[in-house]
Amino acid sequence: MKVDNSNSAEKILQLQMMTEIFKEAAGDSDSFQLILESLTKAMTGDSTSPDITSILPNSGTTVQSGNTSIQEAINNASKKYGIDSDLINAVIRQESGFNTQSKSSAGAEGLMQLMPGTAKELGVTDAYDVGQNVDGGTKYLKGLLEMYGNSKELALAAYNAGPGTLRKRGVDEVSEISKLPNETRNYVQKVMKYYGK
């Protein structure tokens, strides 16, 4: 790493300040590690660093994919389906960490981690297109909210585990979420925490 001694103290101070800002924005997660790596490369003049704005949630930046930013897509879906934009934000944060190119080991794709079959049923032809993904994921979430009497916790549990899992385990009330796998229980808790309402 090539460091100009006359600016090294200033760069270290900048890096420390930016680290705290990014840690607060992304949490101590994979997203934070990507941000830190990108920032370090940018400060050392490494031109191979990725665009960090694509992984910063709620930072005032607008991430573009095609002609739609994430915030625009969230606002559009919120209005279209009558779902609180903060809830959509919370689901995206948990599902993909605002990474538009996210793909799970199970094959779920994009911001709201749509499985290919579900995406097709929802009319999503490109799960990595921000507008389509957020619209499809929000449409699916709306259907789950309707299915579970507008219970956010049950809808989120079904979003994570699938309605069939809730049915098989006899989960009809929020108090019965304890019957679901740890992953789903943790998922519901984290999304509700991010939602903060």
Active centre residues (catalytic): 95
**Cβ atoms of residues 97 and 26 within 8 Å:** yes
Contact 26, 35 (CB under 8 A): yes
What is the Cα Rg of the chain in Å? 19
Distance (Å, whole) CA 17 – CA 21: 6
Task: Give 12's contacts (C-beta < 8 A, 6+ positions apart).
Answer: none
Where helices occur in the chain by DSSP H, the ranges are 5-26, 30-43, 70-81, 85-96, 116-121, 130-147, 152-161, 163-168, 182-195
